[in-house]
Chain A
Amino acid sequence: MTALQRDRGTGTPPAQTAATGGARATDAATGASAPTTRRRASRRKGVRRHWWFTPWLYLLVPLVLLVTFTYLPIGDMIGYSFSDWDGISPEKNNVGLKNYTDLFTRPELFKVFLVSGVYLLAAVVQICLALYFATVLSFNTKFRNLFKGILFFPYLINGVAIGFVFLYFFQPHGTLDSLLELVGIHGKFLWTGDPDLVNKSLAGVSVWRYTGLNLVLFLGAVQSIPPHLYEAAALDGANRWQQFRHIIAPSIKPVISLSAILAVSGSLAVFEIPYIMTGGANGSQTFVIQSINMAFKFDKFGLASASAVVLLAMILLVTWIQRRLVPEERVELS
């Protein structure tokens, strides 16, 4: 009998534990107790002290962190959105809904969502790429762990570092231009200077960065599919595409829909890559950059908070719609 099994065997109702525990204590007082009995006694005490709030104790730290750094700031932000605070003065005046009416009566403030469209298209590309690589790498491919590593690596790099690296990459006569020249494409591209190219270039960087994350999500899901399904399908004469279409895609549907939600909310709230690389100049301004400018450059904290609240509402709405369109369902694998 191992120690673990023996411990399991001694499970007794609390009342009885208390009684025997008390008896053992007198044993201990007479000095006749063996080491094993003493250990059992302390274990029993542990069982007795099972307060109703024990699970909450464990949750206390994460809950405090969550409330302090997420819910309180959101509450503050909603408060600011009804004020004309300039971010520094001690006085805040309540202006009611003025910030919201301002926001909705100025169409130029919503024009920046056109930029999000480019990122949304990039997100489609990103999910397709990740699906393709996940499928290929879940079969017996040579060096597949190496490829997994290579594809996941960009996600591990700090976003600021990526911004700086790609600034050199996109410079005229920079890395990208030299690469293109190697394959015979000579041309003068201003990757971040050309207003038609800038958002595509920046979206390309975010595809490069986040494909790895999607890949890992998909790989995990694909690998939970029992291999005998493929064998059966292969026996029936299904090719790889048919296997993907009828086995893999339906099995990982929940993960794909999760990725889609993340992609939509991500492209509405694009921030760090354009902020670091162009600072929102040359028509690459996104809604978040615009809100930051409102707050820190024009001292309109109220208006900026209102636009943050609107963005939050939009993301919640999109997620809700998506949830209604693609309801969560259990996928049965057999």
Chain B
Amino acid sequence: MRRGWVAVAAATMVVLTACSSGGGSASSAQTVNSDASKVSGTITVLTNRTDQLGDGTLDKYAAAFTKIYPNVKVKFEGMKDYEGEVKIRMNTENYGDVLPIPSDLSIAQFPNFFSPLGDAAELSKQYQWTDYSTVGGKVYGIANYGTVTGFVYNKKVWADAGVTEWPKTPEEFVTDLKAIKAKGQATPYYTNYHDGWPLRQWTDAIGSPSCNPAAKDAMASTATPWTGGNDIFTIDSLLYSAVHEKLTEDDPTTTNWDNSKSLLATGKIGSMYLGSWSISQMRDAATKAGASPDDIGYMPFPSTSGKPCTVLQPDYKYAINKHSKNQEAARAWVDWFINKSGAAQNEQGISSVKGTELPGALKPFTEKGVQMIGQNQEKLATVKKIDKGAEINLDAPDYRQKLVDIARGAAAGDQNSYFAELNKKWSASQKTVG
């Protein structure tokens, strides 16, 4: 028992020191000297884009940056499994100077790891999505660009099956997939089950079916989210029916993401649920496979509210390591990369700088009057806490892989029993979070 008290005392000490040091550095945000030649230092930028590191894209950005800031040296460090590796690195003080915030990190933890970039009231005038990383009125990360979510599809496959209009409801979507299956030339929907993360993407649709920016926040106060009327129910039911009606690939356990791109491009696959960032990749794949890049289309998640909606949300948000010795140089890089580098436009992303034009790939969305909504972030920390406590993890593919297994008859149960199980876990965890 005595040892227990010692440990509690030690833990309290740790908490206290953590709080005080957090409070100390959160008081002011780093600014950059207006004389660019006075900014100096060597900064390390962590990146998840190992592809851009390999093909020299990032080096080009660095070269353009050093033209303006001649005394700053920028180094990159790529991580193939970014989410997995960076969280372990963050147990030390050495996790680069500038880094994308791992998407799994709880927002309440941001002040423990990152330097504040400025007051939310001010930065939100300049950038979108600052509320995704605002803790106590300070912004800790700014996204470079955002994407909308929806289905990337092969227009030709859908037209050949006689579908020319976007499905308006989830039921219509399943009927359309059946029409494609009846044609017999393409797998109507491809789950990418084996790679997993494309299944995770379905979570990003929360808010889209009901056209409600508060749909995700609502999960904090809903004891049973997997019941009719909630977005997560609509989303997972749609996936369940698609798999259950055999409208997906035969053996989902052997899917291959890189291969799926050219399969979609050449009309062997009808559709996949992915962020709008995937459009440019699919078009590249089409060009490589000798198909027409114009066949690649993009549609929003079918609506339950009567009007098409899509959730506009940020990609990785860039933050500065609290322990960085080159705060000024790091800040200079973040500002330059987001405002001046043009990286967002190059990726067909929607720049976070307010007042920038939409990328060309999303023209049909504006033409057809798809409403782009945001996602409220007030209760994000609570939702995450419930989610992890329930061992569901909406941000990992595992629970949805099991959903697919049940739908195709490879695991015991059916939609109702699995949703009941998820609801039970959710409400039990919600009680402990309070």
Contact = CB atoms under 8 A, between A and B. Distances in A.
Interface of A: 82, 86-94, 96, 167, 170-172, 174, 190, 192-195, 198, 278-283, 293-294, 296-300
Nearest to A285: B398
22 contacts: A90-B18, A91-B11, A93-B8, A94-B4, A171-B254, A172-B250, A172-B254, A174-B254, A192-B251, A192-B253, A193-B250, A193-B254, A193-B410, A195-B411, A278-B194, A279-B398, A281-B402, A283-B405, A283-B410, A294-B391, A297-B398, A298-B388
Contacts of A170: 254
B410 A91 contact: no
B385 to A, nearest CB: 9
A281 B401 contact: yes
Closest 3 interchain pairs by CB?
A94-B7, A193-B251, A192-B253
Contacts of B194: 167, 278-279, 281
B91 interface: yes
B251 A89 contact: no
A299 B411 contact: no
Contacts of A82: 7
B4 A96 contact: yes
Given A88-B87, A88-B90, A94-B4, A282 B11 contact: no
Contacts of A198: 253
Given A192-B251, A195-B410, A91 B18 contact: yes
B109 A88 contact: yes
B14 A281 contact: no
A279 B4 contact: no
A92 B11 contact: yes
Contacts of B405: 195, 281-283
A299 B109 contact: no
Interface string B367-394: 0000000000000000000001101010
B23 to A, nearest CB: 14
A298 B393 contact: yes
Interface of B: 4, 7-8, 11, 14-15, 18, 84, 87, 90-91, 104-105, 109, 112, 193-194, 196, 250-254, 388-389, 391, 393, 396, 398, 401-402, 405, 410-411
Contact of B112 (A89, A279, A300): A89
Given A94-B11, A167-B194, A190-B253, 10 more contacts: A87-B87, A90-B15, A91-B11, A192-B254, A198-B253, A278-B194, A282-B253, A282-B405, A293-B396, A297-B393
Most chain B beta-carbon contacts within 10 A, residue among A190, A192, A281, A294: A281
Contacts of B109: 88-89
A171 B391 CA distance: 31
Given A91-B11, A96-B4, A194 B254 contact: no
A324 B104 CA distance: 47
B15 A278 contact: no
Contact of A297 (B251, B252, B396, B410): B396
Contacts of A90: 14-15, 18, 112
Contacts of A283: 405, 410-411
A273 B393 CA distance: 24
Contacts of A190: 250-251, 253
Contact of B251 (A171, A298, A300): A171
A91 B196 contact: no
A72 to B, nearest CB: 15
B398 A281 contact: yes
A103 B253 CA distance: 29
B219 to A, nearest CB: 17
B402 to A, nearest CB: 8
Contacts of A281: 193-194, 196, 253, 398, 401-402, 405
A91 B14 contact: yes
A112 to B, nearest CB: 13
A86 to B, nearest CB: 8
A278 B105 contact: no
Contacts of A172: 250-251, 254
Contacts of A279: 194, 196, 398, 401
Nearest to A89: B109
Nearest to A303: B391
Contact of B11 (A93, A174, A296): A93
Contacts of B14: 90-92
A296 B254 contact: no
A282 B254 contact: no
A272 B91 CA distance: 25
B62 to A, nearest CB: 29
Most chain A beta-carbon contacts within 10 A, residue among B388, B401, B402, B410: B410
Contacts of A194: 410
B411 A282 contact: yes
Nearest to A168: B254
A278 B391 CA distance: 19
A294 B7 CA distance: 24
B251 A282 contact: no
A293 B398 contact: yes
Contact of B15 (A88, A91, A192): A91
Nearest to A82: B7
A166 to B, nearest CB: 10
A82 B410 CA distance: 37
A201 B14 CA distance: 48
Contacts of B253: 190, 192-193, 198, 278, 281-282
Contacts of B91: 88
Nearest to B113: A88
Contacts of B4: 94, 96
A71 B181 CA distance: 57
